[in-house]
Amino acid sequence: MSFNSREGAIVSVFAAFCTLTACTSIGDNGFGVLKESPLRQENSVAKAREIQQTFRDIYDLYKDRVVFISTEKTVRQPPHPFFNDPFFRQFFRIPKRSQRKKRTGLGSGFILSDDGYICTNHHVVSGMDKVTVRVEGKTYVAKVIGSDQYTDIALLKIRPLSRLKAVFIGDSDKVKVGDWALAIGNPFGLDKSFTVGVISATGRQDVDFMGGSHTHIQTDASINPGNSGGPLINIHGEVIGINRMIYTKSGGYMGIGFAIPINTAKSVLEQLKKYKKVRRGFIGVQLIPLKREYARRLGLGDRQGALVGGIVDNSPAERGGILVGDVIIRINDRDISGYRNLIDIVGKMPIGDTLKLTVWRKGKNIILFVTVIERP
C-alpha cells in the first residue's frame, strides 16, 4: 500500500472515530447529552438532595405499614316502577322481586400493632358486609372492632401470618403551619401512592358541617378518593394525622385536604379497642355561642364561657342546679374558652367523675357540682 493510500485510510479511520465519538456524546439516538448535568455539582442543590433522600427514606419506612382496604356491600335494587305493570313484566320476562347488587369501595389504613390492629376511617367501613385488607402482598378479611361516626375513626383487626410493622406515632399538638406533610395511601386504587405538601392550617373546625368540638389539620398534600384512612406523616417519619376528606367543588382534589389529629385518634382508638365504642361524658346542657356584646351586658366583660340555652330533663345538669341563662366559665379550675371547649372537656372526662363548675349568674360566680354520665 502506498503512503497516500495509508494516509487516506488513517484519515478515514480518524473521521469515523470522531463521528462515533460525537454520536455517543449526544446519546445513542442522537438526542440528549450523556454527561451529568452541571447542577449535580452545585452546592445549592445539596440541601434539596438531602430532603429528597429523606422523602425516599420515609416511603421505604412506610410502604409496608400502610394497607390497602377494599369493601363490599350487597344492596337490594328495586325494579323500575315502569315494570310494575303485569303485562310489561310478562312481556320482558322481568321478575317481580328486587335484584341484589354488590357495591364496592376502596380506602387506606395503617398498622397500629404487630399483631394486626389497623386504623382507618369510619366512613370507609361503615355498613359494609365485608372488609378486606391487603398488606405486604397478602390479603386478609378484617373484623371491625369498633367504629365512631362522630370522629370518623374505625379500628380493624386481622390475623396476620407473621408480625407486622407498626407506624410511629407523633404528636399532633406540635404541628405548625409550614411543616412538611406527607401522605401515603391508595387514591383511585393506585396502591402506595406518595404525595408531599405542607401543613396549611391547624385547628380547623366544622369542615364537614357536622358541628362538635373536634378539629382538623389542613394540608395541600394531594388527597383523593381512596386516600381516606391513610396516614399524614411529618418529616421525622411520624404519623400526625388520619387523612379524612377534601374540600372540593368538582369532586376531585383542589389543593385542600383535611386530616384528623393523631392525638384525637389515640383516645378514640383506645376506647374502641376496650369498649367497641366511644364512651363520651355528658352532663345534659344545651349550649349556644356567647357573643361578646351579650357577655358584656351580663357583666362578664371580655371573659369567655359557654352560655346554657337549655337543660335536659333529669340530667346531671338539672340535678346539679344549672339554670338556663347561666354561663359556665370554669370546669375544675380550668377556664372555658367557648362552648366547643366545654363539649371537648366534658366529653373526655371519665364516666362517674364529679366536676366542679363555676357559673356566672346574675353578676356573681356560683360553684356547682355535677356528675358525668355516658352520653345517651
Just list the catalytic residues: 123, 152, 228
User: Residues 240, 262: contact at Cβ < 8 Å?
Assistant: yes
307: amino acid identity, one letter:
L
How does DSSP classify residue 15?
A: H
- Residue (of 258, 247, 252, 53) closest to 152 by Cα position: 258
Cα R_g (the chain), whole angstroms: 31
Q: What angle do CA 119, 121, 125 make, to 5 degrees?
A: 100
How many residues comprise the chain?
376
Total H helices, total E strands in the chain: 8, 20
**Cα–Cα distance, 366 to 239 (Å, whole number):** 43
Residue for cell digits 363520651? Answer: 280
**Cα–Cα distance, 129 to 125 (Å, whole number):** 9
Q: Where are the alpha helices (DSSP H) in the chain?
A: 3-25, 43-62, 86-92, 122-125, 262-275, 292-297, 316-320, 339-348
Beta partners for residue 67, in sequence order = 109
CA-based max dimension of the chain: 123
Sign of the four-CA dihedral 348, 352, 356, 357: positive
**Cα–Cα distance, 293 to 279 (Å, whole number):** 36
Cell numbers representing residue 259 in the block: 386530616
Cell numbers representing residue 87 in the block: 303485562
